[in-house]
Chains A and B, each alone.
Chain A
Amino acid sequence: MTRVRVTAPATAAHPVTESREAAQESDVGQVFVRSLIRSQLRLALVVAGGFLVILGAFPLLLAAVPGLAETTIAGIPFDWILLGVGIYPVIGLSAWLYTRTAARNEARYRDLAGDP
């Protein structure tokens, strides 16, 4: 069997033409790239931060309101419902919002930077 050298092929995942690469790496191109990176980072930090705030608020809420943790709904105590079930829709929503907005950021980049 022939020996196959497995390395990370530089362009296998990203078939980019020479002129597009050059345009992206020009000074003007880099302005757009950096702005895209900044928007994506800001988006990620905002979503992460917002999520963590809500995550922290749940136990605080349970601690602050007396008797809330023990109230039962259908026999299940509320603290189990909040922390064991309620948090997952929050995660899902954050993820969905992020994915949509990230795609929009990239679409905007494509419009601005254009394809040669």
Chain B
Amino acid sequence: MNPGVAAAALAVVSVATAVIGFYGLRISRTTGDFFVASRTVRPWWNASAIGGEYLSAASFLGVAGLLLLSGTDALWFPVGYTAGYLMLLLFVAAPLRRSGAYTIPDFTEARLDSRAVRKVTSLVVVLVGWLYIVPQLHGAALTIRITTGLPSWVGSVAVVVVVCLTVVAGGMRSITFVQAFQYWLKLTALAVPILFIVFMLAGSGTPALAAPAENPTGLAPAGWYTNVSLLVALLFGTLGLPHVLVRFYTNPDGQSARRTTLIVLGLLSVFYLFPTAYGLVGRMFAPDLARSGQPDAMVLLLPRELIGGPAGDLLSALVVAGAFAAFLSTTSGLVVSLAGVISQDVLGAGVGGFRLAAVVSAVVPLGFALMTGSLALAGSVGLVFAFTASTVCPVLLLGIWWRGLTDTGAIAGMVTGGVLCGGAMIAGSLAGAASTPAWLAQPAAWSVPTAFAVMVLVSRATAGRVPKTLVRVMTRLHTPERPLATGR
């Protein structure tokens, strides 16, 4: 790959992101603007922005890489990511919007009337956010290294710098514009090269090098436990991702929150067709990419591999731009939501506190990313989903739908889920990928039900602690808002 072309693509994406972000500075002035874009973002904008944030390094690079390695087994990832969003629509979208809270800890404090719950929730949310940012930075490091030959740390640092500038400048409002732009950029960046490749292959009638069912590296297929547990993690984990939930508050009301989610599902479904196509084409026409040791780079390398010449270079540059957009957008979304949490609970609310919190939210995971090597992107993101599914998801679901939840129960459940899942993740990384048993490698199938069970049992045991504001809060969460005078 021509390093000059790649570097140019990366520079263009970074500059465009920063410019759009600064443009947001002229519009956002109040703290409300900073936190949740003053609840005036319309469904299509919002949906594009959610799609932009949600489609991270794992979706852009990791899914195709896993498909190359494991074939149809890996199709559970894109399906799980999208279906997780469906669960969000069904169980969380409208009530969360109606709660009026800015952040998840806001919601749990309002629902359970307890500052202790708020503190624990904030801690969990920050952990989840940092865990999710690290793979994005790894993805950026990989992209920089493969495409320009620069050292890996340049990629991670570049993402953090651009994100900090954009977030500090405009908070949520500018982020919305940026994210919406980046969804469409990512979609184009992925679609154009693969369509080119498919037409070229179909036209020239080149025979496939390998059958799609053949595993290029002879890896054993994942057992049913891993697939089921992964699906549990993805289905339940999406509900709890902080950068996803924070966008609900930017809708005018509950029904528009649902409509936005519906549009997001459409955008995600269309998007995931393309990594799937890359995976299939890669397995059939470029199986040696799997043996190169960096399957996640497959999307970046395939256009040049199969087309070659200046056209291949240009198409690869397009993909690289899209990949970088993915890291930038997800990281920005996470940093904004984390900054919201940290500044409200630790640094004192207000625009200055938010900016400082944003820098902290971005720099800490950078340190971690620089110290650790990259694991398979989609896999490590799968573990983050498992952690979220075991901590934030139970408190959200039970808080919204069950009257019996108490503050003690919520804390007990979150701590249990966090310790169990976190412990499994640490044990897995210490043991190494090869020697970790399946139940430890993907703990969601047992950590999620356990967290739920603990939350329910402890709440039952402390039934006297049900908040006095229960009736008012539940009514507000579930009843439709008064129709506005405009008659919408």
Q: Which residues of A contact B (CB under 8 A)?
A: 1, 3-16, 20-21, 24-25, 29-30, 33, 36-37, 40-41, 44, 47-48, 51, 55, 69-70, 75-77, 79-80, 83-85, 87-89, 91-92, 94-96, 98-99, 102-103, 106-107, 109-110, 113, 115
- Taking CB atoms, residues of chain A closer than 8 Å to B401 are 37, 41
The CA of A10 and the CA of B99, in the complex, are separated in Å by 9
Given the known interface contacts A94-B86, A95-B261, A99-B89, the answer about A8 and B102 at a Cβ–Cβ threshold of 8 Å is yes
Q: Which of B39, B265, B351 is close to A91, meaning CB atoms less than 8 Å apart?
A: B265
Question: Does B478 contact A36, Cβ atoms closer than 8 Å?
Answer: yes
Question: Does A55 contact B474, Cβ atoms closer than 8 Å?
Answer: no
**Residues of B within 8 Å of A, CB-based: how many?**
59
Question: Does B90 contact A98, Cβ atoms closer than 8 Å?
Answer: yes
Question: Does B482 contact A99, Cβ atoms closer than 8 Å?
Answer: no
Question: Does B262 contact A96, Cβ atoms closer than 8 Å?
Answer: yes
Question: Does A3 contact B262, Cβ atoms closer than 8 Å?
Answer: no
- Taking CB atoms, residues of chain B closer than 8 Å to A96 are 262
Q: Which of A85, A94, A115 is close to B273, meaning CB atoms less than 8 Å apart?
A: A85
Given the known interface contacts A41-B401, A44-B91, A95-B262, the answer about A36 and B479 at a Cβ–Cβ threshold of 8 Å is yes
Q: Is B100 an interface residue (CB 8 A)?
A: yes
Given the known interface contacts A13-B97, A15-B482, the answer about A80 and B475 at a Cβ–Cβ threshold of 8 Å is no
Shortest beta-carbon distance, A89 to chain B, in Å?
8
Q: Is B101 an interface residue (CB 8 A)?
A: yes
Nearest first, the 3 closest Cβ-Cβ pairs linking A and B are: A88-B269, A6-B349, A13-B100
The CA of A6 and the CA of B101, in the complex, are separated in Å by 11
Question: Does A99 contact B98, Cβ atoms closer than 8 Å?
Answer: no
B249 to A, closest residue via Cβ: A13
Question: Does A99 contact B272, Cβ atoms closer than 8 Å?
Answer: no
Question: Does A6 contact B79, Cβ atoms closer than 8 Å?
Answer: no
Interface string of B5-48 (1 = CB under 8 A from A): 00000000000000000000000001110010001000000000
7 more contacts with CB within 8 A, not counting A21-B472, A88-B269, A95-B262, are: A13-B97, A25-B472, A37-B478, A76-B280, A92-B265, A95-B86, A99-B258
The CA of A10 and the CA of B473, in the complex, are separated in Å by 10
The CA of A106 and the CA of B273, in the complex, are separated in Å by 35
Question: Does A77 contact B482, Cβ atoms closer than 8 Å?
Answer: no
A107 to B, closest residue via Cβ: B480
Shortest beta-carbon distance, A30 to chain B, in Å?
7
Interface string of B70-90 (1 = CB under 8 A from A): 001001001100110011011
Question: Does B482 contact A4, Cβ atoms closer than 8 Å?
Answer: no
Interface string of B436-480 (1 = CB under 8 A from A): 000000000000000000000000000000000001101110111
Question: Does A40 contact B478, Cβ atoms closer than 8 Å?
Answer: yes
